[in-house]
């Protein structure tokens, strides 16, 4: 494992498997009330420049369950919001804490933070990637299907941070990945370049029906991500009526196909209320698994094994 978790492109397939196996163990410990204070006395600084419910609560709770402590730093209320360079924030936090989790806009900000920090940095979402979410997603699919290799993962919608991380994560664990995005809303070119070198396991198309055929796990995400609020209306005009997981699309998938959503979900937009509720158990397992997957990441990066 590297010092940081910045994006799934940096991980080997073996790293991902190790995180997923450790996450299963973390979940077992938690469910059986087994003490697992692997990070006793350690502190995680959590920098949030965007909103969050799941990421904040799962990291803070996870750190507590590992015997450590997490502290919340709002971008606006800390000196970051007044322009203190990220290079200096990195070096200051490295003198107090044992790890940093950051949710922000540009991926380069997270990469710079990691370069200047002597402690592990974890990406809690950027415009480019959402690696912690996708580790939880892979954990959830493996839990429900008992395997990942050979299954087909399909994503319908905007080619955003979730799409980028799902493509890389899915392909690295040996899944087939199909994506349907409208023209002009494709995933990041670096991700497409990686995907196109994965031995024909990746397809990108415009038609959700084509992408969904034979899928084992269907994913979608909001049409306008955090930071794109001003584009919401224009995006709606492009996505509406086509880029939605609904029962007609589900009819084309494999029997027992799962539905996953990182949340928050907009019912009636990227997913119908009917499909969401029919798969609510899988979707909230996915939300729960953020806790276990991130505890695994923190233990592997910040603990002494």
d(CA 17, CA 19): 5
Q: How far is CA 59 from the centre of its chain?
A: 13
User: Taking the CB of residue 143, how many other CB atoms lie within 10 A of it?
Assistant: 17
* Residue 133 among the catalytic residues: yes
221 binds ligand NVA (CB under 6 A): yes
Q: What residues does 204 pair with on adjacent strands?
A: 179
Q: Which residues contact 197 (CB under 8 A, 6 or more apart)?
A: none
Asked if 292 interacts with ligand CP (CB under 6 A), we say no
Determine which one of 54, 103, 261, 292 is catalytic.
Answer: 103
- Contacting residues for 52 by C-beta, under 8 A, at least 6 apart: 103, 124, 125
Sign of the alpha-carbon dihedral angle for 84, 86, 89, 91: negative
CB atoms within 10 A of CB 193: 9
CB-based closest residue to ligand NVA: 225
Binding segment for ligand CP among 52-60, 212-220, 236-244, 274-282 (CB under 6 A)? 52-60
Which span sits near ligand NVA by CB under 6 A: 60-68, 139-147, 180-188, 221-229?
221-229
Q: Which does 53 bind (CB under 5 to 8 A by kind): ligand CP, ligand NVA, none?
A: ligand CP
Q: Toward ligand CP, which CB reaches closer, 166 or 204?
A: 166
The span from the CA of 221 to the CA of 103, in Å, is 18
Q: Decide if residue 262 touches ligand NVA (CB under 6 A).
A: yes
Site membership for ligand CP, residue 133 (CB under 6 A): yes
Interface ranges with ligand CP (CB under 6 A): 52-55, 125, 133, 262-263
Interface ranges with ligand NVA (CB under 6 A): 125, 160-162, 221-222, 225-226, 262
Supply the residues annotated as catalytic. Answer: 103, 130, 133, 221, 262, 290
């Amino acid at each position: 494992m590297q010092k940081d978790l910045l994006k799934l492109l940096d991980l080997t397939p073996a790293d991902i498997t190790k995180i997923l196996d450790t996450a299963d163990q973390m979940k077992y410990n938690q469910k059986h009330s087994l003490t697992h204070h692997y990070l006793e006395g350690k502190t995680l600084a959590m920098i949030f420049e965007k909103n969050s419910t799941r990421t904040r609560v799962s990291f803070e709770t996870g750190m507590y369950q590992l015997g450590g402590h997490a502290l919340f730093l709002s971008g606006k209320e800390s000196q970051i919001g007044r322009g203190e360079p990220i290079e200096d924030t990195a070096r200051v936090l490295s003198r107090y804490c044992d790890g940093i989790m950051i949710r922000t806009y540009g991926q380069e900000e997270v990469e710079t933070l990691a370069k200047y920090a002597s402690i592990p940095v974890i990406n809690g979402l950027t415009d480019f990637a959402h690696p912690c979410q996708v580790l939880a997603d892979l954990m959830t699919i493996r839990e429900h299907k008992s395997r990942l290799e050979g299954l087909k993962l399909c994503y319908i919608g905007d080619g955003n941070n979730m799409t980028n991380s799902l493509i890389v994560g899915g392909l690295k664990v040996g899944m087939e990945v199909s994506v349907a995005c409208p023209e002009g809303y494709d995933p990041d070119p670096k991700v497409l370049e990686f995907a196109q070198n994965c031995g024909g396991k990746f397809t990108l198309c415009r038609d959700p029906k084509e992408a969904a055929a034979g899928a084992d796990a269907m994913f979608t995400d909001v049409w306008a991500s955090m930071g794109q609020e001003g584009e919401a209306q224009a995006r709606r005009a492009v996505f509406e009526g086509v880029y939605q997981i609904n029962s007609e699309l589900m009819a084309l998938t494999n029997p027992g196909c799962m539905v996953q959503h990182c949340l928050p979900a907009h019912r009636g937009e990227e997913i119908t209320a009917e499909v969401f509720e029919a798969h609510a158990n899988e979707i909230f397992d996915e939300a729960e698994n953020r806790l276990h997957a991130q505890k695994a990441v923190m233990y592997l990066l910040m603990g002494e094994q």
